[in-house]
Every structure is written in C-alpha cells, then in structure tokens.
Structure 1
Amino acid sequence: MLTLSKAKGLALLVLFAGLFSATGCTRTSPEEYNSRAADPNLLHQTSKQLTTVIIRDIFKPPVASRIYSYANLAAYEAMRPAETEYPTLAGRIREFSPVPAPEEGGEYCYPLASVKAFIAVSKALTFSVDMWDEYEVELNQKYEAMDIPQDVYDRSVAYGELVARHVLDYAEKDNYKYTRGYRHVLTYSEGEWEPTPPTYAEACEPKWNEIRAFTLDSCTQFTPAPPAPYDLTPGSEFRKMLDQVYDYGKNATPEQKAIAYFWDDNATVSNIKGHLSYLSKKMTPPGHWQAIVSTIARNQKLDMMQSLQAYTFSSIAMHEAFIACWEEKYRSNRVRPITVINKLLGEGWEPYLETPPFPEYVSGHSAISASAGTVLTHLLGENVAFTDSTEYEFGHGVRSFKSIEDAYMETSMSRVYGGIHYLDGALEGTKQGERVGEWVLTKLTGKPVENKPKEDVTKQIAGK
C-alpha cells in the first residue's frame, strides 16, 4: 500500500515526465533522423574531402582509383541494410565475402553508418589523417543537430567501422604491398619507352597489372588491337600519327588547347624556372570522374543510395580499366611522342601538356574515362547534359557536354591535342574502356549489357 508521501512523489515523477515530453525531449523517430542523415550532400561533401586528401598526399592515378573503390564499396555495403533492393556486391566481385550483418532487432541510422564506413576506409588508405580528423569535427556537429538517439548513433558508427574493417581486410589481400618498389627495366631500344622531360621520372606502377581485379577474369581479358608498328618512313601509319601530334604541338587552335588543358588531370605538374623546381598538385583522372558523378547526382537530385551506386560502380570500373590498360602499356612499351619528335626533328619541341611517366599505348585517361562513362551512361541515361566545373578551382575552366559519352570522347581526343598520345592510343584506349565498363556493369548488376559497336568510337573521336 502506498503511503501519502510516496503517492505524492509518484505524482511528481509523472508530472515531470509529462513536462519533459511537452518540451520536446521525446526520442526522435527513426523516420525523422534517417531522413535527415540520408541527405546525399553529406556523401558528396565526404567524397570531395577524399579527393582533397588524395591531392595533398600526391597519390598516383592508379592508386587513387584503388582508394576510391574501397571507400565507396564500404559505404555502399554499410547502406544496403536500409536499401535491400540494391544487390550486395559479395559474390559479384572477386573474393569478397558478405559484410557482417547488423545486430538483429537493433535500431540503426544506416546513412550515418555509410558515411562513417567511407571515412574509416579513406583514413586507413591515405596519409593525411589530420585532415580527416578536422573534417569529422564539423561533420559530427551536423549529425548531432539531427537528434539521433545516442544509442542509435553509437551503434551506427560501430557498424560503419565494422563494415570498414571487413573491406580493409579484403583490400589487404589485393597484392598492393607486393607491387611496391618494383622498377621498370629500360632497354633504350628504338620505339620503346624511356623517361621523358622535364623530370625524367621513373615509370609509374609497372606491376599494376598484378593488382587483384574486382571483376576481370584476367588482366589480358580486354587486350586492345596491336599498336601501329614503329616506322619513321614518311607515309607510314606511325609516321602520320607522329606528324599529327607534332602539328598539334605547333598549331593547335585555342579550342583544342582548352580541351587539352581542361582534361589534363595530371596529379603533379613540374614547374622548372632556372634553378627553381617545384610541383603543382592537382586532381587525378579518377577524382575528376568522381566529381562528375557528384555534379550529375546533384543535377538529377539522386538520393543517397542512387548516388552511392553511381560512385561505387564507376570507381570499380576505373579500377578495372587501370589494370587492363597498364597491362598493355608495359607489354607494348611504346615510346612517347616527345622522345621521337626531339630525336627525329631536333630538340626543342614540347607538347602542350607535360608527358606522364609511363609508356604511351594505350591512353590511360581514355580507358578509365570510357569505363566510368559507360557505367554512368547505363545508370543515369544516354542524353544527360551537364556542365563540369570540377577543376575550376585549379584554373582549368568550365565546359558543358550534351551527354556523358560526349565528355569521355572529348577526354580521349584531349590527349592527342595535348601532344602526349598518338591517335591510335586514344582510339584503342576508349574502346578498351568501354568494353571494361560493359563487363563491370554485367558483373555488378547480374544483367548482360549490350556491347557498343566499336566503329562508333573511331568515327566520334576522329570527328572531334
């Protein structure tokens, strides 16, 4: 039996509980906090932060593609429990087992878990941890303003980190560490690659073809047609392409120069002025295409999971294209235009763009752009017009395109205008990239993708 004093105390507790409820201290519903946390802009901002870190850390383009792929994979899989209509990539990509399941009956904020998984993988695979720590301070303030219950917040962050550890364990076995420290053996034979001015840097990632692929059966699965034979005889196929590059170096139009510079995407550009030498750090080709994903996703108002699919599938396509392209580069080992032109026509000719340090055939930017572009075209539409201001902050201007395909076709021709690739390197790189993109889509979606007629590539690029 309650005494009078105990009854009064119980009444006061009930009263205080009612007052707290009335003043808004009730637990936020899952619908409310998930809706706030699923703002795709948080994902886009975090993706841009990864690009900023990659630029600071000066990762080479193939390595950058690896980082983007694993970070996006973790975010995708951490978000999937809330978006079960999207397939897990476990069993669809090589050697990737299912991620740990969330706690049964537990309440989660999966958009939060997704972004935290992305950051955890990014932080582990990059160097500038301080930049991530600073970024998370501001990001966590945004999540705190969403009134996510503390137990849900902690559980969701823990799940994101659990998925990240699973993906990092997977990444640990991809041969990346094994490929460190290898050097390309130079022969200095006619027609074979050798280091190029102004820095004469060593060959970049000569063992990248031995990185474990996500989907490819082998690094030689999409071997391009053989390059034109090295032949300096006037009128030969090779000589005509060499003369074309030379002419662009001397007589490129302002528009051709604008196209070349817009798609430069050289992670490190050398600046040599007398005895002064320094590097300008800029975006890599994979970073440029991840930024294009962000632009189109914002334009189309894609939700977080739709955006994640575009980021993840396109980054995996670029990862695979680098493996296929790099296998061909070091197999054919073809000399760059600047080397041949300066030996044949006398020193002094310079391409409009700085020549990157690896063999010419095929064009890497052509291959990875076509692979990402093919994936994005199938996911987002064939006639998606957009304006790309990705590298405006680096002084490269703004360009508009009538379609994603139009963008990657222009990317390919930019390498010829810039004087760093022959025409067949650009053409065959684009063809290879498209084939890789179609293959990746088939593997990741489980649905066959119709092959693009190869002759279209030649006509479109030649018409640029």
Structure 2
Amino acid sequence: MKRLVISTLIVCMVACTKQDQFTLPQNAKGTGKLLTDWIAVHLRLIKNTTGLSHVAYSRHFAYTSIAFYESLVPGSPGHQSIAGRLQNLNNLPAPQTTQLCWIAAGNSAYASLMRFFYSGNKINLPIIDSLEAAENEQLVNIARYSQAAVTAGNEFGNNLAQAIINWSMQDGSANIHPPYVPPTGDSLWVPTPPAFAVPAAPYWGDNKTIISGSIDNTLAPAPIPFSVQPASPFYNMANDLFAASQNLTTDQKDMAGHWDDSPNGKYVTAFGHWASILSQMITKLDLSLIRSAAIYAGMSIAMNDASISCWKAKYTYNRIRPVSYIRLYLGSPDWTSFITTPAHPEYPAAHSTLSYAAATVLTHYLGNVPFTDHTYDNVGLAPRSYTSFIAAATEAGNSRFYGGIHFLPSIKAGAICGTAVSKNVLVALALRNDD
C-alpha cells in the first residue's frame, strides 16, 4: 500500500532550514502531490461505498476540501482563511503552537473527514490509516520535519476536522422528513426502469448552502410546457432524443459511458470525476499544495451549492423522464435509455449543472487548459481529450442526451444554473486568482 500512496515531496523540502521549514513547503511547486494522493484514496472509498444517493457525495467533497484548506492556511503567508465567508462557520480552533508541520495538519484533517464519511464499510479504515501513516512517515524521514512538529500538525488537523464535522451537521441533510409522496399527473415524474426506485433525495433542495446567497436567483426557469400533441415543442423535443437513440455513434456511446459516473462500484460520481480532473491538473501544472487546496475548496463548495439549486428545481417541477414519455406517448413501450435513468425528476440536468459549476471555478483559477481525462482508465474506458474545462462540462451535459436520460433544454438549463452558482461562490470567497 505504501508504495502506491506515498507522496513525492519536492527535494527542496529536505534542504529547508529549521527556521523556514514551517512556512515554505506547501507554497512550493509540486507539493500538491499530497492532495492527489488523498483524492485517489477518496475515489477508492466511493467505489467501496453503497446505498447513498449520488448527490449525497457533494457534502463529502465540500466539507473535506474546506477542512483541508483551513488546516493549511495558517501556515501559508499571503493566503487567507475562508471560514468567515462560509455560512455559520465561526470559531475554528487555533493551532496551539507555530512550531508544527502544516502539511501534517492537512494530512490528518483529510484523514479525519474520510473516517467520518466512509467508516461504514470497515475495509475503508485500513486504507485511510495506511495513507495517513505513510505521509507522516515521509514527512519525518524524507522531508526531515521533527516528530514533534508532525505530531503537533496531526493534532491541529484532527481538531480542525472535528470542528468542520460538527458544522457540517447543521446543513439539514440529516433532517427527518415525512415520507415523500410524488405528485401525480401526465407531465410528472414516475419511477423509471429498471429498478422503478423511489425518488432520490427529494428534500435535498432544502439543505443549507455553504455560501449564504449562493443559489439566490439561480433556480431554473419553468421547463417547456408539457404536451403529447405531435408537432408540439415538447413532443418534438422527446422525438429528437428518441431518434438520436436509434443511431448512436461509437463516440456518442463512449461519451455517455465516460460521464455515467453512477456510484455503483465502478464509477466515482460527478463530484469524484471532477476531483479526479483537478488531481490530474495538479500533476500536469505542478501546483503547490496551498493553491491546490484553494482550488479544490472553491470547486467543491460550488458543486455542493449547485446541487442544492438543481435539486430544488427538480422537485419544484417534477418533470417526466424521457424513458417514461417515450414508452407512454411515442409508441415504444419497450424502449430504454442507453445508460440507467437516475431515480429523480428530469429537469434540470444535474450533470450539466454540476459540471458547469466545477468548470467555471477551474477556469477562473487555471484558465483554458487543454487536457486529456484519464479518470476511468482503470476500468477500461478510453481517455477523452478536451480543449478546456468548459468544453469538458459541455460534453458532460451532452452525454446525458446521448445516454437517453435528459432532454436538450434541461441540459442548457443546468449549464446556466451551475455557472451562476459558481460565480456567486467565487465572489463570496474572494480568494486571489493565484491562490
């Protein structure tokens, strides 16, 4: 395990003097490798986890990224805490000494959040413990931090993580709600094949956002009026999807599979997919640890808050899924979508919402970076290349059309929503563009 997960901290860390070793390393190029190690383990834990709605993972990435960033920022001159800009987050613990290893603090903060979110499956705990121990060992034996500094960093990281965990419990996601009874009507969502499952996360739109006001004025507008009349806009919209499904190209099928992201033991969710893309950028661009952490926090917060806006709209409009409309009104009772239709209403498209939220943040911090996405190389899917983050987000949205689970106007509405939420988040965080 250690061979797979130990970071390669930059050589200059070994040469740091006793005076500067407490401030320099996380600001130096290449030190973002600690975060890529943890993201890799995070994605592995998702594959080991069952029984959660896809959208539930939004919280895992958001709160973990906040804890990670806040554990590093006191030791990063020129960088600022975002705690005061987050809704109801006050009085984070302060380090008890300045003579600590901040990288160790980030290491233990991430580990603590992983134990909190993923300890339900006992096979996850040794994975988390192994990485945390390996990183600590390297900080002492390779980077030449004192054991006392690493231990002090671990203690601070654990304390800060617990404060973030306590705060996370106030967002309403664990509230007990009455059983959800979907409204009925020709235009409204009904359970979809093959599982015909109950609607997923119907109250998610009531959760408290991480940034106050981040979803103000972002609710998707009312969708196209429902109709079963031939030549009506709604009928034509559905017929376009049906026609496309009959002639999918190999590339369109590959696109749909690459962005499936269902948490089914094979894929890593949309949140994990974009964390993987960021991880690849950290390596490609040789980012520092604090810069990597700032981008990670901004992206994860934006995706979390965008998920709340998206789910609020989904259960406001309760729009019928393509598979239900095509079976009922287009004379194809056995038709099914190319990828499995998720168990929640159609409008707006979540993948488009979340992907545009992520891409907007990444573009803000990193610009238009061409890249090849290798997220699913290990499950046999071919990598896919993009000219920019927005190009990737556009494909992520369009993949749901070719997958047969979203109409095109829903994808457009999601893109608008995700972009708007991200812009609100970026303004509120007010981090430097080079953070």
TM-score normalised according to structure 2 size: 0.89
Deviation at 1:431, TM superposition (A): 0.6
Paired AA for residue 336 in structure 2: E
* Match 2:88 to one of 91, 95, 98: 95
| Aligned counterpart, 2:160 | 163
| Aligned counterpart, 2:105 | 113
| Aligned counterpart, 1:315 | 300
Residues of 2 paired with 1:189 and 1:30: CA distance?
70
Residues of 1 paired with 2:226 and 2:366: CA distance?
41
* Match 1:428 to one of 413, 418, 425: 413
Indicate conservation of the 8 Å contact 2:214/2:305, yes or no. Answer: no
Deviations 1:109-142 (A, max 9, x none): 1111112111112211222333312333433332
Indicate conservation of the 8 Å contact 1:219/1:327, yes or no. Answer: no
Q: Does 1:201 align with 2:197?
A: yes
Indicate conservation of the 8 Å contact 2:339/2:403, yes or no. Answer: yes
Q: Does 1:439 align with 2:424?
A: yes
| Aligned counterpart, 1:144 | 140
CA gap of 1:41–1:52, structure 2 versus 1, over 3 A, is same
Q: Does 1:348 align with 2:334?
A: yes
Paired AA for residue 441 in structure 1: L
Which runs of structure 2 are paired with 1:210-359 in the superposition (5 Å)?
Answer: 210-217=206-213, 221-268=217-264, 280-344=265-329, 345-359=331-345
Name the structure, 1 or 2, with higher relative contact order (CA <8 Å, separation 6+): 2
Residues of 2 paired with 1:237 and 1:84: CA distance?
56
CA gap of 1:414–1:65, structure 2 versus 1, over 3 A, is same
4+ aligned runs moved over 4 Å, structure 1: 32-38
Partner SS state of residue 369, structure 1: helix
Residues of 1 paired with 2:339 and 2:134: CA distance?
38
- Alignment RMSD (CA, Å): 2.2
| Aligned counterpart, 1:15 | none
Q: Answer with 1 or 2: which has the greater Rg.
A: 1
Q: Does 1:153 align with 2:138?
A: no
State the percentage of identical aligned residues.
29
Q: Does 1:48 align with 2:18?
A: no
Deviation at 1:253, TM superposition (A): 1.6
* Match 1:368 to one of 327, 351, 354: 354
Residues of 2 paired with 1:209 and 1:221: CA distance?
14
Residues of 2 paired with 1:91 and 1:122: CA distance?
24
Deviation at 1:216, TM superposition (A): 4.1
Deviations 1:326-347 (A, max 9, x none): 0000010001000111112132
Paired AA for residue 168 in structure 1: I
Residues of 2 paired with 1:250 and 1:227: CA distance?
25
Deviations 1:248-307 (A, max 9, x none): 211112221121111111112xxxxxxxxxxx5421000000111111121111100111
| Aligned counterpart, 2:18 | 29
Residues of 1 paired with 2:206 and 2:100: CA distance?
39
Partner SS state of residue 154, structure 2: helix
Paired AA for residue 154 in structure 1: T
Partner SS state of residue 197, structure 2: coil
Deviations 1:141-173 (A, max 9, x none): 323323321211211111111111111111121
Partner SS state of residue 251, structure 1: coil
CA gap of 1:284–1:441, structure 2 versus 1, over 3 A, is same
Which runs of structure 2 are paired with 1:373-392 in the superposition (5 Å)?
Answer: 373-381=359-367, 383-392=368-377
In terms of mean alpha carbon deviation, does 354-363 or 292-301 score higher?
292-301
Paired AA for residue 146 in structure 2: P
Partner SS state of residue 227, structure 2: coil
CA gap of 1:387–1:162, structure 2 versus 1, over 3 A, is same
In terms of mean alpha carbon deviation, does 181-190 or 356-365 score higher?
181-190
CA gap of 1:399–1:218, structure 2 versus 1, over 3 A, is closer
| Aligned counterpart, 1:19 | none
Q: Give aligned pairs, total.
A: 409
Structure 2 residues not aligned, in runs of 5+: 1-15
CA gap of 1:443–1:36, structure 2 versus 1, over 3 A, is closer
Residues of 1 paired with 2:175 and 2:204: CA distance?
10
Which runs of structure 2 are paired with 1:399-418 in the superposition (5 Å)?
Answer: 399-418=384-403
Residues of 2 paired with 1:130 and 1:244: CA distance?
49
In terms of mean alpha carbon deviation, does 56-65 or 401-410 score higher?
56-65
| Aligned counterpart, 2:114 | 122
